[in-house]
């Protein structure tokens, strides 16, 4: 998963892009980059690490220009190498092209082979670079036709921003897997994965870019075109964005994430009520569903675990040992709240089971009498090919174990997962979501080679 930002027509474009990255940091913590354009040349800074560590007043001031795109990376194709930090910036026929992409393509193998046969030399091991080669190879008379020809060749999940020929471009695949929002800042437009980025920039949320839509923004003018057939294409918004990934203060897929998560919690309470002294969430992601659960059953709600905010998303850690260590540092249960109590603990999802097992162990250590765990989505059983970095099926705990076996593994007194129908019942546009990670029913053909590192040499 990644976060992307695009700024047009603003005298401090790179500063705004930085604010956007800051707000979208939760979408990727491996690397961050900004490319700006001053009307003559592009300027770029990209590094491993968090946006806040990579940028300051002095280097942002080197990113001159009135336009910028930016990217925060969480690798879902290609390893965590410096060469794979986005935005990708190239020069072609004396004109610069910059690309930032969120999502995974499903016809990477075919396009890669064809482009290499035609002489393309790839510099990265990311599917995202395909956009650059297609842009360079496709005859570019009229901008709308050029972009239509390019985006018609790629299949799968993409929300992208480009800097191209004095224009800021935003595009979203016809199924709309990943979000992309349009905002207004002064008399310019901005694009961002999630609307929370606009709040930090004090920009106005205008609307979401529609699935299959391409916006071409030049100065303060916006032209919108649609890929052929996209208006009638079946939609596949990623339901895991709503369950876990997106920020609760964002508005994506025509809904507010905080409210969606509370509805998930309320539905969970209807399906799996538990008798206990109080309800609490695993911070931060479980808190919203926990509040919905408690309100639905009229139960007390406690914040019984404190989150250390100086540590990022734990599942991004490369080894199991580091993940477990970081989980412990990150979250600390409050003994005086929990000791001798029967608790319902709500988590947004279980992926490997690492966080949950470790949390439960700590709750026992501080004296919890009974622990009833409730999960605000169904068991995750299948990998994602559209941009969530779920481990292989073998590492997904629910792929191999029944609910009772998972309960035994994480050592809870009872465990309940929200049903698929229950989860979908609280989504606004129920028929428009991809839930393949729960069902194994994929809304596209499955890519031939699903290895994340398949493009590494």
Name the site residues for ligand AMP (rule: CB under 6 A). 244, 285, 315, 347-356, 388-390
β-partners of residue 164 are: 97, 167
- Return the number of the residue (70 or 375) whose C-beta is nearest ligand AMP: 375
Of 14 and 72, the one with the shorter C-beta distance to ligand AMP is 72
Minimum gap (Å) between residue 389 Cβ and ligand AMP: 5
Helix (H, G, I), strand (E, B) or coil at 191: strand
N-terminal to C-terminal alpha carbon distance within the chain:
22
Q: Would you call 384 a catalytic residue per the annotation?
A: no
Cα–Cα distance, 150 to 88 (Å, whole number): 17
**CA within 13 Å, CB half, 141:** 1
Q: How far is CA 428 from CA 171, 195, 251, 286, in A?
A: 23, 17, 12, 20
Strands (E), 211-254: 213-218, 221-226, 237-238, 251-252
Q: Which of 2, 167, 196, 238 is catalytic?
A: 2
- C-beta closer to ligand AMP: residue 212 or 387: 387
370 pairs with which residues across the strands?
342
* Number of residues in the chain: 457
Q: Toward ligand AMP, which CB reaches closer, 395 or 413?
A: 395
Taking the C-alpha atoms of residue 328 and residue 92, their distance in angstroms, rounded to an integer, is 49
- Closest separation between CB of residue 313 and ligand AMP, Å? 7
What does the block give as tokens for 154? 């790629």
Helix (H) / strand (E) element for 69: namely strand 67-73
Shortest distance, CB of residue 314 to ligand AMP, whole angstroms?
7
Write out the two tokens for 431: 């028929």
403 CB-contact burial (10 Å; exposed 0-12 / middle 13-18 / buried 19+):
middle
Element (H, E) at 294: helix 287-297
Rounded to the nearest whole angstrom, what is the least distance from the CB of residue 385 to ligand AMP in the complex?
Answer: 13
Q: How far is the CB of 50 from ligand AMP (least distance, A)?
A: 18
Characterise 108 by phi-psi region: left (phi > 0), alpha (psi -120 to 50), beta (else): alpha
Helix runs in 118-186, H state only: 129-137, 143-153
Which is nearer to ligand AMP, 122 or 409 (by Cβ)?
Answer: 409
Q: 54 vs 77, which CB is nearer to ligand AMP?
A: 77
Question: Strand, coil or helix: what is 212?
Answer: coil
Give whichever of 19 and 423 is closer to ligand AMP, judged by the CB atom: 423
C-alpha to C-alpha distance for 149 and 170, rounded to whole angstroms: 15
The residues carrying an active-site annotation are: 2
């Amino acid at each position: 998963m990644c976060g992307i930002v695009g700024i047009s027509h603003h005298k401090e474009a790179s500063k705004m892009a930085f604010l956007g990255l800051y707000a979208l940091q939760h979408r990727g913590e491996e690397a961050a980059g900004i490319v700006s354009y001053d009307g003559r040349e592009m300027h770029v800074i990209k590094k491993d690490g968090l946006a806040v560590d990579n940028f300051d007043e002095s280097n942002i001031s080197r990113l001159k220009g009135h336009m910028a795109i930016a990217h925060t990376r969480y690798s879902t194709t290609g390893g965590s190498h410096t060469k794979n930090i986005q935005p990708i910036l190239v020069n072609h026929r004396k004109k610069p092209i910059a690309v930032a992409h969120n999502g995974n393509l499903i016809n990477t193998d075919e396009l890669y082979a064809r482009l290499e046969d035609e002489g393309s030399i790839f510099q990265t091991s990311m599917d995202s670079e395909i956009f650059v080669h297609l842009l360079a190879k496709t005859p570019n008379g009229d901008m709308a036709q050029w972009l239509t020809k390019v985006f018609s060749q790629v299949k799968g999940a993409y929300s992208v921003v480009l800097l191209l020929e004095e224009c800021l471009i935003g595009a979203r695949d016809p199924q709309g897997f990943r979000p992309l929002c349009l905002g207004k800042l002064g008399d310019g437009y901005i694009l961002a994965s999630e609307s929370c980025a606009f709040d930090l920039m004090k920009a106005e949320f205008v609307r979401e870019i529609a699935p299959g839509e391409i916006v071409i923004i030049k100065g303060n003018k916006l032209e919108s075109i649609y890929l052929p057939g996209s208006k009638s294409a079946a939609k596949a918004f990623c339901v895991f964005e709503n369950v876990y990934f997106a920020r609760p203060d964002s508005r994506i897929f025509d809904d507010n994430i905080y409210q969606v998560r509370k509805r998930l919690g309320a539905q969970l309470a209807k399906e799996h009520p538990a008798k206990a002294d109080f309800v609490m969430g695993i911070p931060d992601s479980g808190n919203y569903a926990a509040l919905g659960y408690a309100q639905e059953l009229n139960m007390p709600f406690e914040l019984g675990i404190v989150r250390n905010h100086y540590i990022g998303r734990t599942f991004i850690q490369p080894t199991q040992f580091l993940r477990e260590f970081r989980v412990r540092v990150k979250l600390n249960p409050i003994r005086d709240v929990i000791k001798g109590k029967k608790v319902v603990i709500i988590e947004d999802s279980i992926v490997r089971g690492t966080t949950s097992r470790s949390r439960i162990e700590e709750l026992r250590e501080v004296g919890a009498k009974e622990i009833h765990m409730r999960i605000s989505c169904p068991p995750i059983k299948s990998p994602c090919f559209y941009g969530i970095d779920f481990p292989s099926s073998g590492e997904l705990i629910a792929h191999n174990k029944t609910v009772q076996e998972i309960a035994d593994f994480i050592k809870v007194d009872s465990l309940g997962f929200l049903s698929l129908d229950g989860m979908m019942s609280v989504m606004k546009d129920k028929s428009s979501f991809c839930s393949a990670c729960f069902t194994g029913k994929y809304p596209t053909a499955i890519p031939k080679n699903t290895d994340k590192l398949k493009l590494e040499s």
